[in-house]
Every structure is written in C-alpha cells, then in structure tokens.
Amino acid sequence: MNSTVELSELELDCNIGTYSLNDIVPSAHMLDLKLSINPELVLIKMDVMINVFDYDPLIAEIVKLARDGHYETQERLLTRIVTACADQPQVTAVEAFLRKTPVTSKGGTLGIRLKVGAEHLAHLRKQ
C-alpha cells in the first residue's frame, strides 16, 4: 500500500532565465509535485490535523523559494524545491515537474521532471 499528496499546476511567481530583446519570455512557470507519504497519514481514525501530513507549510516554503530572487535555470529552483520536500520527515519520495510556457511564439511547454526515491532523499537529508 502507498499514498501520495499531489499538487498540480501551481503557478509560481518567479524570475528564471536571461532573455534578450527578441527572445520569447515565458509568461508562466508551473509546478506539479507528487509526494509519497506513509499511508497511515491518510487512513486515519480521527479527523484531526495531528494525524495527517500538513502540506501547507511546505507550499508556503515553495512559494517563498520561487520569489527568492533571480534564477538562471529551472534546475536550480527545482533543486531547492526538492530539498525543501526532503526537509519534511513524512515524505518518503518526491516527483517534481517544473515547466515554463510559452516556449515559442506558437506556444509549447518545456520543463524538468525529477524523481527522487527514498535512498536519494535520505542522502539529501544528510547534506
């Protein structure tokens, strides 16, 4: 048995990349996040917050990281987001997808997907 907390299409207020005058500048950066957690934090007997994973502080931290300043790359922001997820002891694995749009004048989406299993998450926690 497994369980996940899933966040989809969170639009981040961030400044990523360096663009020249004629470049297409993305109008949005979106985040999808899937956090594996212990099923005991979902299958609860009493409806109280202490029995579940409180994801609101993590979302607030992600929003703060996105606004933290200029990023040259999506990869750096994604690294910081995954590190923030690793700081949550209830999280056993992470899948994160950060993307920007548009990529050309006709549209398109370009992103980075990162899957971090339990072993690598433990390594991040030690750093």
Per-residue pLDDT at 127: 86
Instruction: Please report the DSSP string for 34-56 in residue order.
Output: EEEE-GGGTS-SS--GGGS---H
Measured CA angle at 125 (ends 66, 67), to 5 deg: 5
Q: Which domains does the chain have, with CATH numbers?
A: 3-126 (3.30.1130.10)
Write the DSSP symbol of residue 39: G
What are 4-36's pLDDT values in tens digits?
Answer: 999 999 999 999 999 998 899 999 999 999 999
pLDDT value at 1 more than 90? no
Could you read off the pLDDT of 86-121 as tens digits, one per residue? 999 999 999 999 999 999 999 999 999 999 999 999
